[in-house]
Chains A and B, each alone.
Chain A
Amino acid sequence: MSTITDPPEGSFRLSMLINDTRYRSLTFQAIAALVLALSIWYLGNNLIQNLRAAGLNISYTFLGSPAGYDINQTLIEYDSQSSHSRAAIVGVLNTLLVAFLACVTATFFGVLAGVLRLSKNWLVSKLMAIYVEIFRNIPVLIWIIIIFTIMTAVMPAPRAFRGETPEASMLFNAFAVTNRGVYIPAPIWGPGSMVVVLTFIASVIGIFGYRRYATKTLYATGRLLPTFWPSLALFFVPTILVYFIMGRPIGLDYPVLGGFNFSGGIQLGAPLIALWFALSIYTGAFIAENVRAGIQAVSKGQSEAAGALGLRPGRIMSLVVLPQALRVIIPPLISQYLNITKNSSLAIAVGYADVTATLGGITLNQTGRAIECVLLLMLFYLTISLTISAVMNVYNNSVKLKER
């Protein structure tokens, strides 16, 4: 800002509103507030007039009336007599489901590709570079549609699994990939399965406890306890033991070909698979770049210094390089998760019943409540992204370099 000179006391002139830095920002804000209010009034007035002309009003009562349409993939009970709000909740859960699945697999693909791209193996690193470039430079909607087409037009129909010499066969007699979706075994929770699950959770907690204990021992006495094998044993042994002691309470319901289609098991519809897989490999390409940048951001001196201290390569990676790389990787990784959640709204293009397709698609078209539906839709996505940003800020503050 320009220099402030002492103005003569007590004489307020109108020109000071513009020329005096003490008042100028107030003037500008007043003008801005006026312009803002005027434009809101103008838009609101137009809205009211248009709504009146079309004989509409703003009301959310339609949410309680029966939806009247079916959704083929639901996580909670739903039928065509359920209300529009129930349909919206089904959509919300479906959005969260596909976003969660895609986040997990995208991280897997991304970390794998990012690490392999830095591999010393020329062929592998070039192959990964090609993967990243191809998937980053083609719109995700095209990928979703390509994979959806593969699922529906190329995969065998259920009847191809029939007969003495079927054209298609199930994987391990448990997984069937058909043009109606993928069938996987469903778990059956028998009596006593709760004990098995609780044992599993307890042993996972036990692993963390043991690792903390090992670190504490290391710091206190300098004695290095083995962690890998005990953790592995703790992970599997108690659960499997309890599983057999309880008389194998958890079974699997395998999909079986009956009539024209498979029955039993869990059906993952082609839209879900297409959306899940396309979002994973597309976002995986972006995550691969983040991972690569994160690892490269750790200067070589760090790993050399760790080597000079006598650390083994595995410990250099886990104790020196990774903690520093993660500081760089995690913030963009979380914004990629946010992108997955937002891109999952493309479900509408392949007919997966996420919240955009139920609330913003069928409900909107049936009730004609465009403004209400779109506002609710935006509210949902806004809540999700603000929550994720809040989590990210907390994380960023916790890993911030502590400077004095």
Chain B
Amino acid sequence: MTDTSQSVAFVRTETIPEMPPPAAETGALKWMRENLFATIPNAILTLVSLYVIVSILSGVLPWIFNGVWSASSLAECREILDGATGACFAVIKERWPQLIFGLSYPASEYWRPGLAFVLLFFAAAPVMFFDLPRKMLIITLFYPFVAYWLLWGGTVLSPILAFVGFAVGYLVYQRFVAGSFAAGFFGGVVAAIIVWSVGGPLIPESANENAMLMPVASRDMGGFMLNMMLGVTCVSLSVPIGIVLALGRQSSMPLIKFVCVIFIEFIRGVPLITLLFVASVMLAYFFPPESTVDLFLRVVIMITMFSAAYIAEVIRGGLAALPKGQYEAADSLGLDYAQAMRLIILPQALKISIPGIVNIAVGLFKDTVLVSVISMFDILGFIRGPLLSSTEWNGVYWEVLGFAALLFFVTCFGISQYSQWLERRLATDHR
């Protein structure tokens, strides 16, 4: 090795500072070049989308920002706007209680559904988020009875009686379940029915008249509240029925399997609207002649059957996805059918099916607007009926339809985001 410092005229001893990268290779410019204008077709696509976005926004934004918020009729709105484009949000401001609670829910009682709605979050939270303290499940336990009492009002005795029936049934179930699941289950059902049929006549006829909360009839409920009520009730009722149907479809007993398959395929094969027709014009024929089952309950029955069939298929998928070894392991431990299902199979199968069930729930919640077709005044029925035919607001389409769409979007988008979070949370496979 020779000493280079003597044979070479000049050698730099320190590194020169780094040059900044070319302008087109950094920051926003690079990002745009890579993500928006990578190739010529890509650049054309970008320009087309920009055009679409600009033309939509230039139509919608002035309409929103010019909106009139206080007026008493569409004519007054147009007067204020004086020919300019602008929305008439005054209709929402003036009619929002009816959009939310329906036309004939007594205005002095709006706090009741409001409170029930707030409590719904506390009741749903421990079911939806497992990290919360398990003690919060007590709220969930009491919620159906409290919500029923708040929404329908009347005597507090009937929800209490309903609760006592369930409580007694549960105690009997606990007492006998160690012997056999069937004994516990049917014992519990019988005990609950006995409590209800004994307790029912004990509630005095006059209890409703001087009740703490004013009774409200089902036909007075409407607006977005009706959609929420139908959605929440039917989904929560249909999950247990769906589990039973899914197990029945997997059953080795031909008769049970046959009945479940026929039920599921029949319900899934017809549109919900025909089932709602059944609820509105046909179902009453199948009840005893002297009974009067109101439309709300009939609709709940049909929608519950509808969503139970779909949920059953989702759960069947979950059951089928379990490795056969799980069933065999349960058998080899000596567990009987009920124990194996409760302790080994269902917890795993349900975990797999939760995202599917949530999807069904979102779909079902959207489908509750179909009740407007059988002349129930849910939010869409109210908009299309009383609101658009009123003299003040005849011709206000976009503001109210947009409001309804926004309510549904917020709810459904929220639930589907939750479902995606849950899917990530439940993923126990180590990837």
A378 pairs with B270, CB closer than 8 A:
yes
Q: Which of A119, A124, A138, A153 contacts B397 (CB 8 A)?
A: A153
A28 pairs with B285, CB closer than 8 A:
no
- Is B320 in the interface zone, CB < 8 Å from A? no
- CB-CB under 8 A from A364, the residues of chain B are 277, 281
B408 pairs with A138, CB closer than 8 A:
yes
Name, among B42, B49, B274, B284, the residue most crowded by chain A CB atoms within 10 Å (CB to CB): B274
User: Inter-chain contact count A-B, CB under 8 Å?
Assistant: 159
- CB-CB under 8 A from B408, the residues of chain A are 137-139, 142
- Is A348 in the interface zone, CB < 8 Å from B? yes
Which segment of B6-14, B123-131, B250-258 sits at the interface? B250-258
Cα A356 to Cα B404 with chains together (Å): 25
- Is A46 in the interface zone, CB < 8 Å from B? yes
Which segment of A29-37, A73-81, A162-170, A229-237 sits at the interface? A29-37
Q: Mark A261-291, 1 if CB is under 8 A from B, else 0.
A: 0000000000000000000000000000000
Shortest CB-to-CB span from B25 to chain A, Å, is: 18
B273 pairs with A348, CB closer than 8 A:
yes
B401 pairs with A123, CB closer than 8 A:
no
Known: A121-B38, A137-B412. A29 touches B256 (CB 8 A): yes
Tally of chain B residues near chain A (CB < 8 A)? 60
- List A residues 118-134 near B (Cβ within 8 Å): 119-124, 127, 133-134
- CB-CB under 8 A from A127, the residues of chain B are 49, 52-53
- Is B79 in the interface zone, CB < 8 Å from A? no
Shortest CB-to-CB span from A386 to chain B, Å, is: 6
Cα A102 to Cα B74 with chains together (Å): 36
- List B residues 193-233 near A (Cβ within 8 Å): none
Which segment of B143-151, B156-164, B237-245, B366-374 sits at the interface? B366-374
- Is B336 in the interface zone, CB < 8 Å from A? yes
- CB-CB under 8 A from B53, the residues of chain A are 127
Shortest CB-to-CB span from A355 to chain B, Å, is: 10
B259 pairs with A46, CB closer than 8 A:
no
- Is A303 in the interface zone, CB < 8 Å from B? no
A141 pairs with B270, CB closer than 8 A:
no
Chain A interface size band reads: 35 or more
- CB-CB under 8 A from A121, the residues of chain B are 35-36, 38, 42, 45-46, 49
- CB-CB under 8 A from A141, the residues of chain B are 369-370, 372-373, 380
- Is B109 in the interface zone, CB < 8 Å from A? no
Cα A147 to Cα B360 with chains together (Å): 25
A46 pairs with B289, CB closer than 8 A:
yes
B273 pairs with A145, CB closer than 8 A:
no
- CB-CB under 8 A from B409, the residues of chain A are 134, 137-138
Shortest CB-to-CB span from B385 to chain A, Å, is: 12
The binding surface of chain A is classed by DSSP as helix
Cα A138 to Cα B410 with chains together (Å): 9
Residue of A nearest to B379 (CB): A142
Residue of A nearest to B370 (CB): A141
Q: Mark A377-398, 1 if CB is under 8 A from B, else 0.
A: 1100110011000000000000
- Is B286 in the interface zone, CB < 8 Å from A? yes
- Is B418 in the interface zone, CB < 8 Å from A? no
A50 pairs with B367, CB closer than 8 A:
no
- Is A82 in the interface zone, CB < 8 Å from B? no
- Is A43 in the interface zone, CB < 8 Å from B? yes
Cα A139 to Cα B372 with chains together (Å): 12
The binding surface of chain B is classed by DSSP as helix
Shortest CB-to-CB span from B227 to chain A, Å, is: 9
Cα A46 to Cα B287 with chains together (Å): 6
A149 pairs with B401, CB closer than 8 A:
yes
B50 pairs with A142, CB closer than 8 A:
no
B269 pairs with A142, CB closer than 8 A:
no
- Is B119 in the interface zone, CB < 8 Å from A? no
Residue of A nearest to B265 (CB): A386
- Is A255 in the interface zone, CB < 8 Å from B? no
- CB-CB under 8 A from B35, the residues of chain A are 120-123
A360 pairs with B380, CB closer than 8 A:
no
- Is A342 in the interface zone, CB < 8 Å from B? yes
- Is B266 in the interface zone, CB < 8 Å from A? yes
B373 pairs with A146, CB closer than 8 A:
no
Q: Mark B266-280, 1 if CB is under 8 A from A, else 0.
A: 101111111001100
- Is A5 in the interface zone, CB < 8 Å from B? no
Cα A286 to Cα B239 with chains together (Å): 24
- CB-CB under 8 A from B337, the residues of chain A are 1
Known: A127-B53, A139-B367. A29 touches B405 (CB 8 A): no
Residue of A nearest to B413 (CB): A137
Residues of B within 8 A of A (CB): 35-36, 38, 42, 45-46, 49-50, 52-53, 252-256, 259, 265-266, 268-274, 277-278, 281-282, 284-289, 331, 334-337, 362, 366-367, 369-370, 372-373, 380, 384, 395, 397-398, 401, 404-405, 408-409, 412-413, 416
4 closest pairs, A vs B, by CB? A137-B412, A122-B35, A370-B281, A342-B271
**A127-B49, A145-B401 given; 15 more Cβ-contact pairs under 8 Å:** A1-B331, A32-B256, A33-B255, A116-B45, A119-B42, A121-B49, A127-B53, A138-B408, A138-B409, A138-B412, A345-B273, A364-B277, A370-B277, A374-B277, A385-B268
Residues of A within 8 A of B (CB): 1-3, 25, 28-29, 32-33, 36, 43, 46-47, 49-51, 53, 116, 119-124, 127, 133-134, 136-142, 145-146, 149, 153, 342-343, 345-346, 348-349, 356, 360, 364, 370-371, 374, 377-378, 381-382, 385-386
Q: List 29 A-B contacts (CB under 8 A).
A: A2-B335, A3-B334, A29-B256, A46-B287, A116-B45, A121-B38, A122-B35, A123-B46, A136-B416, A137-B408, A137-B413, A137-B416, A138-B408, A139-B366, A140-B366, A142-B401, A145-B401, A146-B401, A149-B398, A345-B273, A348-B373, A349-B373, A356-B273, A370-B277, A374-B274, A377-B274, A378-B270, A381-B271, A382-B266
